């Protein structure tokens, strides 16, 4: 019989209005490198959070080393020997590499930390893994890539038999990726089980034994990697052929309304593009490719270092979000709870938040005018609520997103930037948002849409610009684009 270290049985995780994981079951064999693949929002991170005890599943069970658990707490997960390497670092910048590796379980002589001992052990570990590192360097003096490697060493040093790696190579360049591959090979020999999550499909093929694919929170398939090819894998990840259920707006594209030339700041490098009246311009790419940062720079939320923007034929220099709004640019930010709404205030106040000046006299708010706006947009956006006085925190994700949209609509902008407009909301609300986007372009407005959901990006955009590492990796017109091409450009 196969030696199964982890069995996930019928795990579901429901949030209000969303099924992040829907009745998922699969097995991981001892000593294998098991890839988990899926688009953004497929449920990968939810699964990791459940395995590490960060969140509890709505239903289902986890069997680890033969014992069944209804749910795990972070402490239990640690005691079971499940360690995780996240994309975000958990290192202490001003401690040395050796100190970081043994952080929280320092080697001691009596009550005093044995620095020498830790140093030697860390050195041995590095040699073992074939890495050249001065373990006395402080972590803050290392580049991001080597910080990631220290993170991995830290996990390895615990002699765990089960490691989850969430996008471990994202910050690595080719050279460090090789180092990373060596570490994985080494761990494989020691019969360590690894769950590996990466957007770089080549790595899946190079490193992994088996791959499990998720799509929209559902389990799709588990296959031996040697029986898979890239095309098959992508088609599993996307799950369906592109459906035609995206609404098609009826309008002609108009003149160019905005022209961006060589826009550069901390996260965006030399970006140029233009957008026409009535156009939906899609931005594709991996998370962290600089799309959100580009949107924020256009809106005035982040400073611009270089570059020229022409908007309606005039030079446009965004300095604050207020400049963006006044010029006629609206932003629907990617993280609605952190950036979009004030959760502790009612729907009414959120809707008119950006346009208070229009409905006030001598800074007193005209309640009647306010109510007109609020009623109009609750109806237009179809926000489902018993009353406009309902606090936004009590709404479902989809309705919260509609409040964010209502706030942006109320400003009556010419260009609207939708950053992940349908992330984490249910299908019904998604369709309504697509419908709204169509109405907007039919009215002659232009839309910049950033989306990591491939089918949405392909279904809604007139044109797609793919970004990678802050640069524009390429541009695809409607008759050119396909999932494979977008994915390929994005991971270039």
Angle 115-129/144-156 helices, nearest 10 degrees? 100
322: contact with another protein by CB under 8 A? yes
Q: Which two tokens stand for residue 88?
A: 């975000």
Window of 4-12, 47-55, 286-294, 346-354 that interacts with another protein by CB under 8 A:
346-354
Among the listed residues 108, 345, 439, 478, the single contact to another protein using CB under 8 A: 345
Among the listed residues 340, 388, 421, 474, the single contact to another protein using CB under 8 A: 340
What does the alpha-carbon distance between residue 370 and residue 350 come to, in Å, rounded to a whole number?
11
Q: Residues 399-428 vs another protein: string with x where CB under 8 A?
A: --------x---x-----------------
Yes or no: say if 403 and 351 are a contact pair by the CB < 8 Å rule: yes
Shortest Å, Cβ 292 to another protein:
12
Window of 102-110, 118-126, 196-204, 355-363 that interacts with another protein by CB under 8 A:
355-363
Yes or no: say if 471 and 264 are a contact pair by the CB < 8 Å rule: no
Window of 61-69, 151-159, 260-268, 359-367 that interacts with another protein by CB under 8 A:
359-367
Question: What three-state secondary structure class fits 439?
Answer: helix
- What DSSP string runs through 52-73? TTSS--SEEEEEETTEEES---
- What DSSP string runs through 110-159? TTEE-HHHHHHHHHHHHHHHT----TTSBGGGS-HHHHHHHHHHHHHTTT
Window of 109-117, 238-246, 263-271, 357-365 that interacts with another protein by CB under 8 A:
357-365
Q: How many helices (H) and strands (E) does the chain have?
A: 16, 24
159: contact with another protein by CB under 8 A? no
Q: Are strands 463-468 and 218-224 parallel, antiparallel or unpaired?
A: unpaired
Window of 3-11, 107-115, 228-236, 333-341 that interacts with another protein by CB under 8 A:
333-341
364: contact with another protein by CB under 8 A? yes
Shortest Å, Cβ 354 to another protein:
5
The most distant pair of C-alpha atoms in the chain lies apart, rounded to whole Å, by 79
Would you give the end-to-end CA distance of the chain in angstroms? 41
By beta-carbon proximity to another protein, the closer residue of 233 and 448 is: 448
| DSSP 8-class letter at 393 | G
Among the listed residues 45, 354, 455, 491, the single contact to another protein using CB under 8 A: 354
Shortest Å, Cβ 316 to another protein:
16
Among the listed residues 217, 333, 421, 459, the single contact to another protein using CB under 8 A: 333
Shortest Å, Cβ 109 to another protein:
38
What does the alpha-carbon distance between residue 143 and residue 141 come to, in Å, rounded to a whole number?
7
**Residue 117: burial class (beta carbons within 10 Å; 0-12, 13-18, 19+):** middle
Window of 31-39, 144-152, 323-331, 461-469 that interacts with another protein by CB under 8 A:
323-331
Residue at token pair 């996240």: 86
Give buried/exposed letters for 282-306 (b at 16+ CB in 10 A, else e): bbbbbebbbbbbbbbbbbbbbebee
Shortest Å, Cβ 94 to another protein:
20
By beta-carbon proximity to another protein, the closer residue of 182 and 345 is: 345
Q: Which DSSP helix (H) or strand (E) runs through 330?
A: strand 329-332
Among the listed residues 124, 144, 242, 356, the single contact to another protein using CB under 8 A: 356
* Positions 286 through 305 that interact with another protein (CB under 8 A): 299, 301
Shortest Å, Cβ 338 to another protein:
6
363: contact with another protein by CB under 8 A? yes
342: contact with another protein by CB under 8 A? yes
Window of 65-73, 224-232, 334-342, 450-458 that interacts with another protein by CB under 8 A:
334-342
Give buried/exposed letters for 343-379 (b at 16+ CB in 10 A, else e): eeebbbbbbbebbeeebeeeeeeeeeebeebbeebbe
Shortest Å, Cβ 337 to another protein:
8
Window of 18-26, 40-48, 129-137, 344-352 that interacts with another protein by CB under 8 A:
344-352
Residue partners of 305: CB distance under 8 A and separation at least 6: 264, 265, 266
Among the listed residues 360, 382, 390, 396, the single contact to another protein using CB under 8 A: 360
334: contact with another protein by CB under 8 A? no
393: contact with another protein by CB under 8 A? yes
394: contact with another protein by CB under 8 A? yes
Q: Which residues bind another protein (CB under 8 A)?
A: 299, 301, 320-322, 324-326, 331, 333, 338-345, 349, 353-354, 356-357, 360, 363-365, 393-394, 407, 411
């Amino acid at each position: 019989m196969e030696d199964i270290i982890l069995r996930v049985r019928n795990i579901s995780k429901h949030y209000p209005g969303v099924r992040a994981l829907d009745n998922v079951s699969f097995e991981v064999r001892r000593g294998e490198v098991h890839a988990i693949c899926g688009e953004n929002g497929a449920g990968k991170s939810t699964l990791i959070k459940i395995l590490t005890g960060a969140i509890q599943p709505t239903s289902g069970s986890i069997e680890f080393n033969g014992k069944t658990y209804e749910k795990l707490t972070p402490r239990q997960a640690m005691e079971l020997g499940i360690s995780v390497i996240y994309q975000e670092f958990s290192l202490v910048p001003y401690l040395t590499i050796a100190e970081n590796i043994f952080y929280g379980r320092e080697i001691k002589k009596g009550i005093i930390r044995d620095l020498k001992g830790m140093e030697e052990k860390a050195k041995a570990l590095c040699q073992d893994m074939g890495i050249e590192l001065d373990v006395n360097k402080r972590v803050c003096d290392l580049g991001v890539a080597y910080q990631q490697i220290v993170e991995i060493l830290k996990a390895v040093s615990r002699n765990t038999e089960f490691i989850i790696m969430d996008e471990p190579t994202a910050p690595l360049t080719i050279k460090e990726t090789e180092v990373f591959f060596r570490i994985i090979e080494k761990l494989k020999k020691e019969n360590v089980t690894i769950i590996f999550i990466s957007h770089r499909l080549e790595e899946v093929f190079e490193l992994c034994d088996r791959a499990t694919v998720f799509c929209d929170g559902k389990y799709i398939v588990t296959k031996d990697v040697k029986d898979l090819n890239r095309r098959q894998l992508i088609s599993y990840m996307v799950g369906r052929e592109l459906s035609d259920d995206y609404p098609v707006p009826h309008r002609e594209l108009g003149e160019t309304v905005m022209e961006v030339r060589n826009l550069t700041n901390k996260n965006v490098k030399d970006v140029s593009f233009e957008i026409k009246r009535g156009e939906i311009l899609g931005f594709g790419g991996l998370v962290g490719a600089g799309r959100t940062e580009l949107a924020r720079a256009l809106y005035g939320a982040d400073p611009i270092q270089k570059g020229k923007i022409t908007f309606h034929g005039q030079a446009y220099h965004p300095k604050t979000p207020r400049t963006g709004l006044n010029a006629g640019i609206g932003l629907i930010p990617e993280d609605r709870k952190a950036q979009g709404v004030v959760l502790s205030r009612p729907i009414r106040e959120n809707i008119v938040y950006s346009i208070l000046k229009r409905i006030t006299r001598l800074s007193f708010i005209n309640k009647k005018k306010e109510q007109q706006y609020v009623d109009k947009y609750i109806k237009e956006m179809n926000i489902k609520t018993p009353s406009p006085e309902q606090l936004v925190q009590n709404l479902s994700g989809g309705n919260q997103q509609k409040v964010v949209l209502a706030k942006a609509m109320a400003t009556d902008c010419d260009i609207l930037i939708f950053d992940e407009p349908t992330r984490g909301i249910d299908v019904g609300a998604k369709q309504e948002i697509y419908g709204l986007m169509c109405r907007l372009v039919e009215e002659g407005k232009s839309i910049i849409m950033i989306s990591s959901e491939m089918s949405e990006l392909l279904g809604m955009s007139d044109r797609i610009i793919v970004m990678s590492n802050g640069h524009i990796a390429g541009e695809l017109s409607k008759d050119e684009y396909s999932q494979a091409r977008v994915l390929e450009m994005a991971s270039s």
